[in-house]
Amino acid sequence: MFRRKTRRFHLLLLDHGETFIEDHAATFHPSEAVAALLGLRLGRASWKGRIHCGSKSLTFEPEELDAPLVRLLLSELTQPLLEWHARPHAPASEPLGESGFLAHAAAVLHKRETHQPFVSLKLPEGEPLRFVLLHTRAAAFVAQMLPVQRSLSDGKAQALLQAQWRAQQDNKSFDLTGLVDPLETHLLEARVQRVRPMVSTAAILLLSESRIYLQDCFSSDAAPLTHWAIGALQHISRRRHLLRHTALELHFTQAGAGSGRTEQPVSSRLALGAPESLLLNFRSNAERERACEAIGGARAALALPPLPPPLGSKLGGATDRWRNGQMDNFDYLMFLNDCAGRSLNDLTQYPVFPWVLSDYSSSALDLNDPAVYRDLSKPIGALNPVRLEVFRERYYAMEPGERFYYGTHYSAPAFVAYFLLRQAPELTLHLHGGKFDEPDRQFTSVRAAWESALKSTSDVKELIPQFYVPELHSPASSSFLTNASGLQLGTRQAGTVVGDVELPPWATSPFDFATKCRAALESPYVSAHLHLWIDLIFGCKQQGEAAERADNVFCPHTYEGRVDIDAEMEEHARRAIEQQVAEFGQTPSQLFTEPHPQRIPLSAAAPDSLFPRPAAHAPPPDARAITRSSSNEAPPAAPPPPPRVDHAAELAAAGAALSHLAVAPSQSRADRDGAAAAVNRQSSANGWAGASRGEGAYGVGEPIKAAAVATAPSWGDSASADSTDTKGRVELVLRLQRAADVRLQDEPVSSVWVAEDGTTVCSVGGPTVRVYCTKREQLLRCAPIRGRDLLALGSWDNAVWLYSVGRGRVVDSTQGHHEASVSCLSESKGKLLSGSWDSSVRVWALSGNALEYSGQLTEHEDKVSCVHLDGWLAASGSAAGDIQLGDLRANSGATRSCRVHGDLTSGVALTADGRYLVSCSLDGSIAATDLRGGRTRMLRDSGPPLRCVNAVNGAAVLCGGDAATVTLWDASSMQTLHELKVGPAGPSDAIHSMHYWSPGVGNSAQLVTGLADGTYVRFSV
């Protein structure tokens, strides 16, 4: 039986604009001559498979994967389809007892790889192709296809056939046997078109009380069915489709939320790693609104929270965040594209991004030189004054009301296919009838593409987002700039074979190219001028007199509201307009009618570079398994007075004042971290690559393969899309109540930790380490910490000490590695990270009760003030205000460096979802660096210094400092979620350290904060 899972046929194999009709089970009976021509195994009489019928072609797909697909163009049939009946006493070469048909045609062979072009073959004279239909009468098949063949040159006949096919689709009923629960209540059923890149298919939408079902009317056999849980729905966007306000895009919280039939192959390659989404076009605006209302009612019945309002309602807030530096340029442009109706599922309105650079020929790129940037105040078609005069002459020669400067658009399906030729060749093959475009018209060089957009009168295209997402160009990904599939793209007239895209001399690799393009997009120059380009594409200069003055006028049919597609007009006229939009694209919805505000210039505390900036380093340790760490504390400005021995803890390290502690993990914690890794897999990235527990990231050298995207917030959303459990964990913070204030020592509590049992608090300050039982409210000589009972202690005598709580004594120490005081430590699963005033970050391995030196990871330009270890990722900050991120597995041991703060970096932490590196500073600022692209969202606070940061769950973090307040932040939006007041904000109440503890199950949690006066304050729930 034909297996759907091995199907090679998909709609992109049809011609652009071709309609799929149906398919039939059949056998192919080639003669020896035809079999030899097609490359089939000789001696075999028949091949079983399916015939896929389109409005312009027939495609036979054999079941055997090693047999080629055979496509017959109806326009090239040398004779009409002939019905053929096998004779009762036919020879063995003819099939018996079946009816079939003959096709006299020039056969078109499609190679085994569906991303390769068709190869035209001429059949031997007098050798028709013989097909036998297994479940359909040949007479009925021929009667159906002959009118299709005859209508190829008759527009009215085609319109009539289209109406007949729509009627046949309407007669299809939903297959109720595919329901997950046969007792589900049906709330809504609607006929829709599922819109995917380059194609749309008829489907039936069924909404039940708990699921969204979609049955694709793609084939005539077992109905392909996909379903999504209503609870997985993240938000809904109302969209236009072919100028009508009838489409709805459903965004789900994680890729793969749907189950059933697999996605169109090319869709995932265009999705930029975003969560799964579903674009449906309804027959009317009223039907779309009924679907929205029904989905909202179903969620309410399930006691689910209401879906967030449309993104357009958040436009003002997003603009303010962007102006203030809390949203980077890339995310803001994606947000505007989303608000303006641009969709990753619809290539007629794919997200549009600007060319920002104009220098693609220099050997080095200086982003501080304004000359390397494009003039963002002008549309791409007006950058060349000589060419602009040609456009103007044509403009004024046209009739008023029909005038336009540019016959093409800056964003169209063909342009997306042009750029993504190597990554998604199906798009180009679909547009060009199964062939690649001429080699000299392909995307062969970035410089040539820019010069074409600058000089050609038929090319005014802007860019697509993929140019600015470095993680899409790592070796772990398939960059659209490399011919990784070995496509045979042809030879140019100059004699060069088309292969990888030629990069500018200043780019060493696709990853380097995209990284520098992204840095240019986020540069101060572009930030100061981007509002001018926004005016042209989304704003006040998009339409009207302002657009005319700006030389920014396109074909009238491409603008929203210019044509009433539902008004009374001839069917062929309506189809002509729809076809024009489908081929040449449409202008985004206008978002602003007043000039867009300019971005506020970044202060001196802003990042000065998002480029990888390697620091001096030694080879990395041979790391194996690393997860989480404690909070960190900056070293004091000057060495302390001579230390004293703390007899309460019986430290044998006389003369060793302690600056930081880290707790060796218990087995239960390791298990929880492993479980978290399985649940919270996050996106891979470029140089700031994020990874969940134990998952990959990229060093400065060759990037390393990382985990795939499971969840990601929708573009422009102000909050991350956490799971229900994650939200529950964060809600525990909101319920924390003050439980105890305990004065442990005279010195500031420089580090504090809650052990795995939740009842034991370990703290360090000055030369003392203390272990306190929260149940008995007393200091302990030993504590029943499950698993290993070790504390790692950093000392001002340049050493790291290993202290056994159970034994009450030091069991090991290190000497001779750090050349100055050890200022901070972070531990995870048998690995220890130490930072020092000597500017170095070093790695240690815990072997039994001993510390073994593994090597130096990196070196800062100033004293190391904080470190954090999470998975394979090692983060550190320095007194210079910079942060570094390294991968312990990177062969070079190098890190990526970025100047973030204007004063000492007092704390670093990786969020639990693996997406953000959060840092805080004594200048009162907190920053979240998105590890997927190195983008920093900064929230500058003129308040008191911040001293520590601790991850909670998802993108939530806790931060504390001299204001004596613990603040709960959302790193994805940099919004304050909650505040806990610790004291009256006096000098003695400054928070120097903290640790948040939650077992991961149940409803218990604790937060302990260490204050400047030696007190620790405990909150619990």
Place of tokens 């062939």: 435
The reported pLDDT for the residue numbered 806 is 65
Q: Phi and psi (nearest 5°) for 138?
A: -60, -35
Q: Go through the chain and tell me how many residues it has.
A: 1021
Q: How far is CA 228 from the centre of its chain?
A: 20
The reported pLDDT for the residue numbered 703 is 27
Taking only the tens place, the pLDDT of each residue in 315-333 is: 888 898 899 887 889 999 9
Quick one: pLDDT band at residue 892, thresholds 50, 70, 90?
Answer: very low
The reported pLDDT for the residue numbered 263 is 44
pTM above 0.85, yes or no: no
1016 or 423, greater pLDDT: 423
Out of 143, 169, 195, pick the residue that ends a domain: 169
* CA–CA separation, 201 and 281 (whole Å): 10
Taking only the tens place, the pLDDT of each residue in 96-137 is: 334 566 677 665 666 556 577 888 887 777 777 888 888 888
Based on the domain organization, do 158 and 38 belong to the same domain? yes
Based on the domain organization, do 668 and 567 belong to the same domain? no
Based on the domain organization, do 281 and 352 belong to the same domain? no
The percentage of the chain sitting over the pLDDT mark of 90, rounded to a whole number, equals 29
**Could you say which DSSP state residue 180 is in?**
S
Quick one: pLDDT band at residue 367, thresholds 50, 70, 90?
Answer: very high
Number of structural domains in the chain:
4
Q: Mean pLDDT of all residues in the chain?
A: 76
Structure-block tokens of residue 136: 């359909």
Quick one: pLDDT band at residue 334, thresholds 50, 70, 90?
Answer: very high
Based on the domain organization, do 822 and 752 belong to the same domain? yes
Q: Phi and psi (nearest 5°) for 32?
A: -60, -40
pLDDT of 905 over the 90 cut: yes
For residue 280, the SS3 value is strand
Q: Which region among 469-478, 623-632, 996-1005 has the lowest average model confidence (pLDDT)?
A: 623-632
The reported pLDDT for the residue numbered 374 is 97
Quick one: pLDDT band at residue 248, thresholds 50, 70, 90?
Answer: very high
Residue numbers of the domain that contains 579: 342-584
| Residue 194 domain flag | yes
Please count the other Cβ atoms lying within 10 Å of the Cβ belonging to residue 874: 32
The reported pLDDT for the residue numbered 565 is 74
Out of 265-279, 427-441, 704-718, 742-756, the most confident range is 427-441
Q: Average pLDDT in the 651-657 region?
A: 30
The reported pLDDT for the residue numbered 731 is 67
pLDDT of 973 over the 70 cut: yes
Q: Average pLDDT in the 981-1008 region?
A: 80
Based on the domain organization, do 373 and 260 belong to the same domain? no
The reported pLDDT for the residue numbered 138 is 81
pLDDT of 610 over the 50 cut: no
Quick one: pLDDT band at residue 514, thresholds 50, 70, 90?
Answer: very high
Taking only the tens place, the pLDDT of each residue in 192-243 is: 999 998 888 889 999 999 999 998 876 544 447 888 999 888 889 999 998 8
The reported pLDDT for the residue numbered 830 is 76
Taking only the tens place, the pLDDT of each residue in 143-183 is: 888 888 888 877 777 777 777 777 777 778 888 888 888 88
Based on the domain organization, do 779 and 794 belong to the same domain? yes
| Residue 376 domain flag | yes
| Residue 470 domain flag | yes
| CATH code: domain of residue 492 | 1.10.1540.10
| Residue 629 domain flag | no
CB 758 within 8 A of CB 999: yes
Out of 78-92, 230-244, 473-487, 825-839, the most confident range is 230-244
624 or 797, greater pLDDT: 797
pLDDT of 1003 over the 90 cut: no
**Could you say which DSSP state residue 311 is in?**
G
Based on the domain organization, do 163 and 182 belong to the same domain? no
| HEC profile of 750-761 | CEEEECCCCCEE
| Residue 903 domain flag | yes
The reported pLDDT for the residue numbered 677 is 29
The reported pLDDT for the residue numbered 678 is 28
| CATH code: domain of residue 60 | 2.30.29.30
Q: Phi and psi (nearest 5°) for 388?
A: -60, -35
Q: Which region among 182-191, 255-264, 432-441, 817-826 has the lowest average model confidence (pLDDT)?
A: 255-264
| Residue 591 domain flag | no
Based on the domain organization, do 967 and 826 belong to the same domain? yes
The reported pLDDT for the residue numbered 518 is 94
Out of 584, 618, 640, pick the residue that ends a domain: 584
For residue 806, the SS3 value is coil
Based on the domain organization, do 347 and 364 belong to the same domain? yes
CB 749 within 8 A of CB 764: yes
Quick one: pLDDT band at residue 250, thresholds 50, 70, 90?
Answer: very high
Question: What single-letter amino acid sits at 472?
Answer: L
Q: Average pLDDT in the 423-446 region?
A: 91
Based on the domain organization, do 976 and 914 belong to the same domain? yes
The reported pLDDT for the residue numbered 34 is 85
Based on the domain organization, do 397 and 471 belong to the same domain? yes
Q: How far is CA 423 from the centre of its chain?
A: 16
Based on the domain organization, do 402 and 536 belong to the same domain? yes
The reported pLDDT for the residue numbered 385 is 96
* CA–CA separation, 46 and 26 (whole Å): 10
Quick one: pLDDT band at residue 254, thresholds 50, 70, 90?
Answer: low
DSSP per-residue letters across 929-969: EETTTTEEEEE---SSPEEEEEE-STTEEEEEETTSEEEEE
Quick one: pLDDT band at residue 516, thresholds 50, 70, 90?
Answer: very high
The reported pLDDT for the residue numbered 903 is 86
Beta strand residue intervals within 134-286, DSSP E: 186-196, 199-208, 211-216, 225-229, 233-241, 244-252, 259-260, 277-281
Structure-block tokens of residue 614: 């390697």
pLDDT of 732 over the 80 cut: no
The reported pLDDT for the residue numbered 689 is 28
Q: Which region among 23-27, 625-629, 805-809, 889-893 has the lowest average model confidence (pLDDT)?
A: 625-629
Q: Average pLDDT in the 556-583 region?
A: 78
| Residue 595 domain flag | no
pLDDT of 282 over the 80 cut: yes
| Residue 741 domain flag | yes
Out of 148, 169, 190, pick the residue that ends a domain: 169
Phi/psi class of residue 434: alpha, beta or left (left: φ > 0; alpha: ψ in -120 to 50)?
Answer: left
Nearest Cα neighbor of 662 from 222, 995, 320 is 995
The reported pLDDT for the residue numbered 624 is 23
pLDDT of 4 over the 50 cut: no
The reported pLDDT for the residue numbered 101 is 64
Quick one: pLDDT band at residue 774, thresholds 50, 70, 90?
Answer: low
pLDDT of 591 over the 50 cut: yes
The reported pLDDT for the residue numbered 277 is 86
Place of tokens 């510390």: 851
Q: Average pLDDT in the 814-838 region?
A: 82
Beta strand residue intervals within 543-603, DSSP E: none
The reported pLDDT for the residue numbered 568 is 57
